[in-house]
C-alpha cells in the first residue's frame, strides 16, 4: 500500500496554501515526494474556479472588504465558493496514474469520503445527479395533517463542495466540508453557481457542537480507504524538509494558528 503524508496546516491563508500546493505538485510530478493530503481551514475567502461566472459573486469589493473576505481566481474546476473558519478543507495531491486514471471516478471518491464521514456522525449525505459535492435532504414547510400525511416539500442543502485540478494525473485543490461554518457568508455568492440552493453544516444538521478534530480524522481515514493509501501523519516542518529545494519561497510560511490535531490523534489512538 502506497503512503500518503498527511499534513495539518491549521488556519492558513488561501494564497499561502495555494503556493504550497503548487510546490508539492511539482515535486510529485518529478517523483520526488509521495502522495500528500493537506488539511486546513482558511480565513474568510471566496474563490472562483475556471468555469465560474463573476455574476455568481453577489457582493461588491467594498462589501467584501468590510466583511474581511478575500477573493481569488483559482485554477480548479467548478464555480464560485466560500471558505472560512469552521470548514475543513482537504487538498489531496495524489498521483492518479498509480491509482486509477479516471477523473470522474476521482471526484466520486472524494464525495464518498465525505459521505462516509457524515454517516459516522449520524448524517445521511448523498450525491445528486448532475451536481458535484454532497447533499443532505431537508424538509421545509412540512406541517403534518391529522392523518399524519406530509404536505411540505423536500429540498437538499450542500454539506460538502468539490473543485479539483489535474495535471499529468497529479491532483490538486480538493474538497471543503462544513463543520461549524458561519453559513451567512454563503449569502455573498450563488454557491457553486446553483441558484436557490443553500449550504448547510454538520453542526446545523445535528443541533449541537462537533469536534472538528474528530471530523478531520474521519475524513483522513476514509480518504485512505477509498484510494488504498496508508495515511502517515507528518508535521509542516517535515514536509518542507521532504520537498526538494526550489529556491526561496517567501510566500510559503508556516501557519501560526491552532492546528486541527486530527491526524496525530488518529495515529496515536
Per DSSP, the residues of 83-130 read: E-TTEEEEEEE-BGGGT---HHHHHHHHHHHHHHHHHHTT---EEETT
The mean pLDDT of 29-33, rounded to a whole number, is 95
Cα 180 from Cα 139, distance rounded (Å): 21
Confidence of residue 38 (pLDDT cuts 50, 70, 90): very high
**pLDDT score, position 57:** 77
| CB-based contacts of 132, cutoff 8 Å, min separation 6 | 78, 107, 111, 161, 162, 163, 192
**pLDDT score, position 58:** 74
Share of the chain above pLDDT 70, in %: 81
Any bridge partners for residue 165, and if so which? 172
Of the candidates 192, 202, 216, 243, the residue annotated as catalytic is: 192
Neighbour-count burial for 105-114, b at 16+ CB within 10 Å, e otherwise: ebbebbbbbb
Place of cell 481551514: 41
User: Greater confidence, 146 or 192?
Assistant: 192
| Average pLDDT in the chain | 84
192 catalytic? Reply is: yes
The mean pLDDT of 117-146, rounded to a whole number, is 80
Amino acid at each position: 500500500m502506497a503512503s500518503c503524508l498527511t499534513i495539518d496546516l491549521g488556519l492558513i491563508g488561501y494564497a499561502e496554501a495555494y503556493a504550497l500546493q503548487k510546490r508539492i505538485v511539482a515535486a510529485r510530478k518529478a517523483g520526488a515526494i509521495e502522495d500528500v493530503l493537506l488539511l486546513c481551514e482558511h480565513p474568510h475567502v471566496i474563490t472562483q474556479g475556471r468555469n465560474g461566472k463573476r455574476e455568481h459573486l453577489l457582493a461588491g469589493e467594498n462589501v467584501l472588504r468590510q466583511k474581511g473576505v478575500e477573493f481569488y481566481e483559482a485554477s480548479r474546476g467548478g464555480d464560485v465558493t466560500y471558505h472560512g473558519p469552521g470548514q475543513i478543507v482537504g487538498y489531496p495531491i495524489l498521483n492518479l496514474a498509480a491509482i486509477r486514471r479516471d477523473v470522474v471516478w476521482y471526484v466520486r471518491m472524494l464525495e464518498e469520503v465525505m459521505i462516509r464521514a457524515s454517516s459516522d456522525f449520524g448524517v445521511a449525505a448523498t450525491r445528486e445527479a448532475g451536481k458535484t459535492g454532497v447533499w443532505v435532504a431537508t424538509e421545509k414547510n412540512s406541517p403534518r395533517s391529522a392523518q399524519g400525511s406530509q404536505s411540505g416539500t423536500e429540498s437538499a442543502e450542500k454539506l460538502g463542495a468539490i473543485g479539483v485540478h489535474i495535471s499529468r494525473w497529479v491532483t490538486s485543490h480538493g474538497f471543503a466540508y462544513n463543520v461549524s461554518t458561519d453559513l451567512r457568508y454563503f449569502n455573498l455568492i450563488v454557491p457553486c453557481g446553483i441558484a436557490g440552493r443553500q449550504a448547510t453544516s454538520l453542526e446545523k444538521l445535528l443541533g449541537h457542537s462537533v469536534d472538528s478534530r474528530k471530523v478531520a480524522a474521519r475524513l483522513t481515514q476514509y480518504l485512505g480507504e477509498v484510494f488504498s493509501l496508508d495515511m502517515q501523519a507528518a508535521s509542516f516542518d517535515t514536509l518542507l524538509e521532504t520537498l526538494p529545494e526550489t529556491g526561496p519561497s517567501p510566500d510559503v510560511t508556516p501557519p501560526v494558528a491552532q492546528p486541527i490535531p486530527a491526524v496525530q490523534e488518529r495515529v496515536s489512538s
